[in-house]
Amino acid sequence: MKSLLPSSPAVIDTSFWSLCAHVGLVPYLWQHYRCPLWVPSAVYAEVFHTPRDYPDQLQMTEALDDGHLGIADPEHPQPIFHPGERSVLFLAQERQAVALIDEFSAHEYAAHALNIPVVSVAEFLSDAWEWGILSREVARRYLATLEALHASPKIFLDYAWQQLNDKEK
């Protein structure tokens, strides 16, 4: 399931955040999702687990400082997945928010078991084109960059390529 309404609240996972930061998509998140986007403390800990100055850490610090991101945790997480994914899934469920997650099994669990809207990075790119945030060519360039990283599940990439190549706007 996808978020099709502008200004939806969202909860972001480590994989989604890190890929967006690496590819350069972070500023586009603020154009669609309601700020602050929620970051569970487990996701924050995963991003900052080692002392380094990677783009994901620097951009998260800036986004927290300027109010684009906020820290929040679920009240009733269930013991499934890794701590970050678990926190994202159950916080999104509690807040009736979109789960922004780029890990296949957690993505499928969100959509089918929890019945909450969930979006991968590749899906965000095709959606951003549909919403008029990105041109088709820019979305394709970002998707090619994402694909070259070999970090996003192929099924998400294939879906986004199909959407970008099949739909006429």
Provide the CATH number for the domain around residue 84: 3.40.50.1010
Give residue-wise pLDDT tens across range 108-129: 999 999 999 999 999 999 999 9
Q: What is the pTM of this model?
A: 0.91
Return the residue matching tokens 């994402």. 146
Its sign, for the CA torsion 103, 52, 46, 29, is negative
The strand pairing partners of 10, in sequence order, are 98
Q: What is the pLDDT of residue 102?
A: 96
* 38's tokens: 């929620």
Question: Within 10 Å of residue 3's Cβ, how many Cβ atoms?
Answer: 23
Is 4 among the domain residues? Answer: no
Q: Does 112 map to a domain?
A: yes
- Residues in Cβ contact with 54 at an 8 Å cutoff, skipping those fewer than 6 apart: 21
CA 149 to CA 109: how far, in whole Å? Answer: 24
- CA-derived radius of gyration, the chain: 15
pLDDT tens-place string over residues 24-51: 999 999 999 999 999 999 999 999 987 6
Query: In total, how many domains does the chain have?
Result: 1
